Amino acid sequence: MKININGKECLANDGDYVLQVARANDIFIPAICYLNDCSPTLACRMCMVEIDGKRSYACNTKVKDGMQVLSNTKELWDERNAIMQTYCINHPLQCGVCDKSGECELQNFTHKAQVDTQNHWIKEIDRRHQDWGALQYDPSLCIVCERCITVCKDKIGDSELKTIARGGDAPDKDFKDTMSKDAYAVWTKFQKSLIAPQNGTTLDCQECAECVSVCPTGAIINKNFQYRSNAWELTRIPASNPHSSDCELMYYDVKQKSIKDNTKMVYRVSNDFHFTTLNKAARFAYDIASDCKGKDEVEFNRLVSLFKDNKIKNVKFNSYITNEEAYILELLRQKYGFNLVNNEALCFQDFLKTFCAHSGSFYNASSDDVKKSDFIVIAGSFLRHDNPTLSYKVNNAIVMNKGAGLYFHPIKDTKFSKIAKNFVSVNCDYGKEAQVLEFILQYFAKDLPQDLAYIKDAFYEEQIEVEVKSKDAEGNEIKEKKQETIKKSSLAKELGFDEDKLKDLLLKKANFTLIIGNDYFYHENAKYLAYLLANIQKLTDFKVMLIPPRTNTLGVSLLCKLSKASDGFTLGYNERGDFSFSNDEHNNLASSNLLEQEGTFVNYDKRLVPTNAALKFKGYYLNDLANALGLDALYTIEYTEQLPKDKGFLNIAFDDLTNHYDNAGNNHRGYLIDTCEFVKNLKQDNQIPQNIKSTCECKKDDIVILANPIGNLSKYTNKSSFFNECASLYASKDYLAKHNLKENSMVKIYDDKDEIIIKVVLDKNIENGAYLPTFDDKINPYKFFKTRRYYALNIKEISYE
Ligand code: SF4
Ligand code: SF4
Ligand code: FES
């Protein structure tokens, strides 16, 4: 359809708001409280427009064909001027030291509405700074636009903020006659409320700081940025989140350390909150630059000789690297014949290959599809812990699309399961991974191939009592109770789930997405699970999304021929080895960190995205090593253009890659991988994987899973001073009770070969289990978790008496 805004014809889609259409067409309509993909709150009324002669609000008026919209009349601007005046009443004049100054929307709109006088006044009340933990709230700067509440509820899913009574006077009634209705209403609301965490004093949330990002003023601020820099002194360097596979667009805000020391430092990470949301790791784990003082020639030459003398049998690395680095490693592998070892990526790669071979295509959902879904199933992922950014999209879909869903996991995430009553957590047992997918096939697939026919027969009969109406000889209605036999899914029963509920959840649902995570990739039955999943993509209406476990697992899986380690000398690249070329503290030679490295990642949406270096690295790059071994590139990013076409990459130079969203929210970040090319070039594998009956024999109560606390995503994240935590065993209240453990006590967790001594702490947001993290270099949890993500571990409290 077409609408007309200020004389310009604009194309619009059914369901669009006028404001969205204006923005997509580069027409400026002032708006403070509205946030993309969130429910309009009508708090600010700045977006007032005339539609076909009537006053409306652009942020909550849906388009109609032929609509005539005016947003720039003198009357409208006079009223906006009055609203901005009310926002400025008793606003402290502290712009000189306010962290938001220079990028403050209160400043911008006051200027834009040409406020040069104040016609209103009211008695000020005592409003003190509040310490909410990682964040600070200054109520005197708050204009109660409610963006913080909205983003937390509609996007993040924590619903951690609320309005509370301000205790201020109501505006004098006399003003009602002298000012516009909208300005008076905004002022009245403003006088009534303030913002507070749900418990009134401190945040009990995942501390993503998205509320800080959306705040138009300096009312909510990160404590670690407060009073450290003016916004205009910072240089914004576009990058991609290096901590998780969303690889979301973000900016390193950089300036020199001090007047005397011109070394650059990252002061904060910011984002374009209209189109992106960052997780806690992206937001806070930015001071992770390597402490490399310069080039260590002796060790570098030793490393070169190790290659030239063919001493290196394995190169072990992780997926916190760029595509260009992964490609260099692959080229070196081809030249020197060592094993490229990355177990996490190898599991994912094997899973992906089996999936693609049997579905004939790549996984077909993106995070955008998740956002548009109204029915979402999650399996094999402890989602908020594994990939918080994707959990925001799930929350956004369920809340905004009135969606429903099922979340299968043995550990219950109580906060996440509360996002809506139609988002049902199913606490299925460990070992039931295949049954989840079989049930989806049973319930949703139209036809099943011969080898999966047994799924069709997985039913049992149940006797139920039904009421039957009939008439007696005189024609009177009589009701009788009768026994009836019905067929029910034995798969659903095994999962501990009532399939009858599903009918209600599915009412009026049309867009289905299935999200699959780590538990399925690290599984002794992974091939069969991938095969089932391939059939789901082929035979049901579900789109399928795999979550690559680490930042660039997908890029590494596309680019590298991976294998298991063999005996012999191991070079660790960003990992420990017999020679460690890494950025951990025990290295032989320092390697660059992702914020000191230009290059690209492939994110979970199968999109290649660029990232720039925030800081200079003084040591040797992997590219220097490659050059010393006969490859030839002045800079690492010369490889961007050479990334192989048969793996789906396009030959585009790094400097030609874009990295932004436009005003309509269209994604202009890098490019989409040509997944057809990747699938086409896969070696054909027609062998149907066998179901290794994956029953979990171990004692349920003893099971621990491998997972990190929300936000501290990896050892790479944990290097930052914001995290820098020691590992604990994180346990639910019921787990502590079952094992007779006290919170914060020291415990031994062990099997018949190994043990770890660790503190056990309570995670009050989970039920039914415990998890052991991977972020702390000082413990090695992988010694227990060899073929699965979960394992039964004995646990015993240690007494030091
Ligand atoms: S704290 Fe900021 S975002 Fe929240 S209501 Fe106040 S001004 Fe708006
Ligand atoms: S930090 Fe994140 S989770 Fe916490 S209140 Fe702010 S938006 Fe919500
Ligand atoms: S943006 Fe529309 S009311 Fe605030």
Backbone torsions φ then ψ of 353, nearest 5 degrees: -65, -45
CA distance 410 to 423: 16
Calculate the alpha carbon distances from 403 to 395, 420, 428, 507 in Å.
9, 9, 22, 10
For residue 659, the CA-to-ligand 2 centroid distance in Å is 26
CA distance 137 to 132: 7
Instruction: Report pLDDT digits (tens) over 570-628.
Output: 999 999 999 999 988 889 999 999 999 999 999 999 999 999 999 999 999 999 999 99
More reliable by pLDDT, 195 or 485 = 195
CA distance 784 to 704: 10
CA distance 677 to 134: 46
Instruction: Report pLDDT digits (tens) over 238-289.
Output: 999 999 999 999 999 999 999 999 999 999 999 999 999 999 999 999 998 8
Residue 444 has pLDDT above 70, yes or no: yes
CA distance 464 to 483: 6
Looking at residue 697, its pLDDT comes to: 64
Query: What number of other Cβ atoms are within 10 A of residue 722's Cβ?
Result: 21
pLDDT band at 381 (very low <50, low <70, confident <90, very high): very high
Output the residue whose Cα is nearest ligand 3's atom 1.
Answer: 31
Would you list the DSSP string of 610-654? EE--SS---S--HHHHHHHTT---SSGGGGGGGS-GGGT-----G
Instruction: Report pLDDT digits (tens) over 190-212.
Output: 899 999 999 999 999 999 999 99
Ligand 3 atom, smallest distance to 45 CA: 3
Residue 431 has pLDDT above 80, yes or no: yes
Q: Which helix (H) or strand (E) holds 566?
A: none
For residue 199, the CA-to-ligand 1 centroid distance in Å is 18
Mean predicted lDDT score pLDDT of the chain: 94
Alpha-helical runs (H) found in 39-194 = 74-88, 105-112, 147-150, 174-178, 181-192
Looking at residue 695, its pLDDT comes to: 60
765, 413 contact by CB (below 8 A): yes
Ligand 1 atom, smallest distance to 161 CA: 4
Q: Which of 18, 59, 83 to mutate to test the pocket of ligand 3 (most atoms within 8 A of CB)?
A: 59
244, 281 contact by CB (below 8 A): yes
Measure the N-to-C terminal CA separation of the chain; round to a whole number of Å: 78
Ligand 1 atom, smallest distance to 146 CA: 5
Would you list the DSSP string of 368-400? HHHHH-SEEEEES--HHHH-HHHHHHHHHHHHH
Looking at residue 694, its pLDDT comes to: 61
On the CB side of 715, how many CA atoms lie within 13 Å of its CA?
A: 16
Joined together, the tokens standing for residue 697 give 């024999």
pLDDT band at 698 (very low <50, low <70, confident <90, very high): low
Q: What is the length of the chain?
A: 801
For residue 238, the CA-to-ligand 1 centroid distance in Å is 26
Find out whether the beta carbon of 147 lies less than 6 Å from any atom of ligand 1.
Answer: yes
pLDDT band at 729 (very low <50, low <70, confident <90, very high): very high
Query: What number of other Cβ atoms are within 10 A of residue 588's Cβ?
Result: 17
Q: Which of 132, 217, 221 to mutate to test the pocket of ligand 1 (most atoms within 8 A of CB)?
A: 217
Looking at residue 475, its pLDDT comes to: 84
Kindly compute the dihedral angle of the four CA atoms of residues 589, 593, 599, 600, in this order, to the nearest 10 degrees: 120
Instruction: Report pLDDT digits (tens) over 157-201.
Output: 999 999 999 988 889 888 988 899 999 999 999 899 999 999 999
The residues that bridge with 339 in the sheet, in sequence order, are 314
Ligand lying closest to the C-alpha of residue 39: 3
For residue 228, the CA-to-ligand 2 centroid distance in Å is 22
Ligand 1 atom, smallest distance to 147 CA: 3
Query: What number of other Cβ atoms are within 10 A of residue 566's Cβ?
Result: 11
Output the residue whose Cα is nearest ligand 1's atom 7.
Answer: 142
Closest alpha carbon to 543 in 391, 393, 383, 375:
375
191, 166 contact by CB (below 8 A): yes
